[in-house]
Amino acid sequence: MPRPTPAQLVYGSAAVICSTLAMLLLSQTSSGIGIAVIALAALGLGLLVAMTVPLPRPRTVAQSPSAPIAPPEVRVPLHRETVAAATAEPVREPTAP
């Protein structure tokens, strides 16, 4: 199981503390069972918040400025003779009308 990131720990802890305080203040409970239920609900909410924090993406390797840059591919138009020699076809000259 992967270790939680610092962001997950912070968000989860903040969710537990804030939700516990809010639920205790809003419910105005003083019984032990009520406090235990609120504490368990707050822990569940904190766990949910911590698990939904986006995980960091793997870093992509950026090309450093000092790295050599490959020249772009240059396409040179071929002449009819070169194409004909490559395909072993005879060169046909256009005939005059």
**Mean pLDDT, contiguous 10-residue spans, the chain (97 residues):** 81 91 91 92 90 73 62 67 61 68
| Total-model pTM | 0.52
In a domain, 45, yes or no: yes
- Residue 35 near residue 29, CB atoms below 8 Å: yes
- Residues spanned by the domain of 33: 6-52
- Residue 55 near residue 37, CB atoms below 8 Å: no
pLDDT of residue 78: 63
- Residue 21 near residue 40, CB atoms below 8 Å: no
In a domain, 66, yes or no: no
pLDDT of residue 40: 93
pLDDT of residue 21: 93
Amino acid at 65: P
DSSP one-letter code for 42: H
pLDDT of residue 34: 92
pLDDT of residue 4: 80
In a domain, 83, yes or no: no
Q: What total number of domains does the chain contain?
A: 1
Nearest Cα to 14, choosing from 56, 52, 49, 44? 49
In a domain, 80, yes or no: no
